[in-house]
Amino acid sequence: MNILETDSLTRRYEDLVAVDGVSFTVQESEVFGLVGPNGAGKSTLIKMLTTLLAPTSGTARICGFDIRTQSSVVRRQIGYVPQMVSADGDLTAKENLLLYSKLYDVPRDERLSRSLEALKFMNLSDVADKRVRQFSGGMIRRLEIAQSMLHRPKMLFLDEPTVGLDPVARASVWEHILQLRDNYQTTILLTTHLMEEVESLCDRMGIMNSGKMVVVGTSDELKASIGNREATLDDVFIAYAGKHIEEAGGFKEAARARRTAKRLG
């Protein structure tokens, strides 16, 4: 069963078409990887799916609800962890979760129990009363995922969840992402530049380029599609988007990624 369906989703900025008629589906309890060079339209697509940006044309449905006409209902079905740090460093982990439980309208008598449950699930119980500014990058990411899950969303959007993390912290975040899917049947859509991350986490992936969804499939399907079952996902990426890699992105994207890495590190 599909939990997400997009239909010719498009976003224009005057003469620029940032997302160009994108149609794809994500199945229930699936981990779906969205990849592509900088400037491909991934961030704009995520902003539309999370109701932060209205489409110019086309639409999408999440859990059967239209992102254009039922945005308030859609927001109750989803969680979102942006690339930039969203936890408050001056608050403790527990205080951050209690704050987010209020923002998500979690019933008052459940806020503490859900916060403690989330801390336990993310292996953060022993630092519940520690200020977040003292956390490592991996701990911050796990706390932010815990924040996004307090209202028990059916679908979670993660924007480059392991950017700036060392290999040990990255592996820990990967483990918890898979546990969310396995324990809570959470559907997850994540953006990443790491093909290793896609290989480790994702049931399927979609490659975007120049605003279009170029191809969607499993790792094996995409390797076969370029005529080489021994290929790596890096080979797949280059085959579908490689010729635009050098042209995409720029100072703004590089600076944003480096700021995020510095704050998490």
Q: Could you tell me the CATH number of the domain that includes residue 41? A: 3.40.50.300
Does residue 115 lie in a domain region? no
Q: Please give the pLDDT value at position 120.
A: 95
Residue 241 lies in a domain: yes
- Other Cβ atoms within 10 Å of 234 Cβ, number: 12
Looking at the 3D structure of the chain, how many domains does it have? 1
| Residue range 46-98, pLDDT digits in tens | 999 999 999 999 999 999 999 999 999 999 999 999 988 899 999 999 999 99
Token digits of residue 147: 């924040």
**Those residues with Cβ within 8 angstroms of residue 41's Cβ, 6 or more apart along the chain or in another chain:** 11, 18, 19, 20, 22, 208, 210, 211, 212
Whether residue 106 lies inside any domain: the answer is no
Give me the pLDDT at residue 167, please. 92
* Average pLDDT of the chain, as a whole number: 91
245 pLDDT higher than 70: no
Quote the pTM value: 0.88
Domain containing 205: what range?
A: 2-87+154-264
Model confidence at 206: pLDDT above 60 = yes
Does some domain include residue 234? yes
Domain membership of residue 103 (yes or no) is no
Helices 111-121 and 167-184, axial angle in degrees (round to 10): 130
